[in-house]
Amino acid sequence: MVEAAAQWRLSLSWTGCRGLHPDGLQALYGDHPGFEAVQLEAAVDSRSEVLESPDPLGQLQEVHWAVHRAHHTYQEAAEDRRHLAADIGEAIGRFVDALVVAGWSEEEARNADVRAIARGGN
């Protein structure tokens, strides 16, 4: 659940980065010779929530840190999942060992129906 939320936040961080606003381009390109053509093209296709601001570099920095935080959360969730898988593997190993001690063969113990055992059957 945490992993899915982190991935959602990561993708949401980039949704505002489509297109370039003409005023935002001024801060990026300044006196570039082809700036007017680029600015005109951007005016036609400006869909950016982040880059349409007068300070696109600052907005991009905010996006950068939002992506960084989301990635960190995602990594933590993945590590938690890895630990949980290891714990489950150890529990299964102990369960198989207990069944073997109770007289089951190794193969029977590994193929045991846990739900049936929990209901009191073999």
> At residue 46, does pLDDT exceed 60?
no
- For the chain, the domain total comes to 1
**Whole-structure pTM value:** 0.51
Q: How far is CA 77 from CA 14, 66, 91, in A?
A: 20, 17, 21
The encoded tokens of residue 91 equal 């529990």
Q: Which domain covers residue 86, as residue numbers?
A: 2-118
In the chain, how long is the greatest CA-to-CA distance? 84
Q: What percent of the chain has pLDDT over 90?
A: 35
Residue 83 vs residue 38, higher pLDDT: 83
| Closest among 11, 115, 22 to 73, alpha carbons compared | 11
Q: How far is CA 5 from CA 69, 86, 110, 119, in A?
A: 12, 23, 35, 36
Q: How far is CA 110 from the centre of its chain?
A: 34
pLDDT in tens, 7-36: 555 555 555 554 555 556 555 656 665 666
